[in-house]
Structure 1
């Protein structure tokens, strides 16, 4: 809860400062947005570490190989990174680049999910 409140305050202050900077020149506003995103990732380091620990624990509960969880975690990470990057591109006035980044993220998510699809396919084939 405390982390979310800090992130909210950071993002609100960053958004207000970016709005003020856009009046004088948009370049500094984009740099400020990048700095706020970097600070937000640093604030999320501990919660992400806790989440990683949970995933490892959950994998051991069902005696499932960790390799089945890795594509899921990678896909979520790709989605978050591409969404943030495409929003930053759109803020910079480059919506086409933002769209390309979203498409690249979708392709990358499919590629990292291939081992999971292969495992599911092998499981289905073994049942027949």
Structure 2
């Protein structure tokens, strides 16, 4: 099971970070970032498979691919903003973390507006 590998790797890394945090905080943050990237790289094949599945569903359902692409971009922004925010919090910079979260929310909103407009147009056509 892949989750067991991920959890074991994360726990070992956590112990290493906890040991180094008091003595070398910079190195602990770098290890934390590296662990996040390695876990992401481990999951890249799963993410690719999910994206291909969503593309196939969109083709079968005759959904405009622009909407699917926008939703995937929104998910990417949410995950990246959360990842960066957590790293900033680990480094003790909660102020920067909150600004990254805010920027992510604004970017998501800006991407969601065209989808909301399309939904509203569809509702108006039905009426």
TM-score by length of 1: 0.92
48-57 vs 72-81, which moves further = 72-81
The offset of 1:71, in angstroms, is: 2.0
How far off its partner does 1:85 sit?
Answer: 0.7
In the alignment, which residue of structure 1 is the partner of 2:124?
Answer: 125
5+ residue gaps, structure 2: none
| Structure 2 equivalent of residue 3 of structure 1 | 2
More deviation, 114-123/83-92: 114-123
1:9-28 matched pairs, under 5 angstroms: 9-28=8-27
Rounded to whole Å, the distance in 1 between the matches of 2:26 and 2:11 is 19
Q: Say which is worse superposed, 101-110 or 116-125, in terms of deviation.
A: 116-125
2:48: which partner in 1?
Answer: 49
Contact 1:86 1:97 in 2 (8 A): yes
Paired with 1:111 and 1:10, the residues of 2 have a C-alpha distance of 37
Q: What RMSD over aligned residues (CA atoms) do the two structures have, in Å? A: 1.2
CA deviations 1:39-90 (Å, max 9, x no partner) are 0111011000110111011112211111121222111111111111111101
Distance 2:13 2:75 in 1: 25
Q: Which runs of 5+ in 1 are unaligned?
A: none
1:99 partnered with 2:98: yes
Runs of at least 4 residues of structure 1 off by over 4 A?
A: none
Normalised by the size of structure 2, how large is the TM-score? 0.93
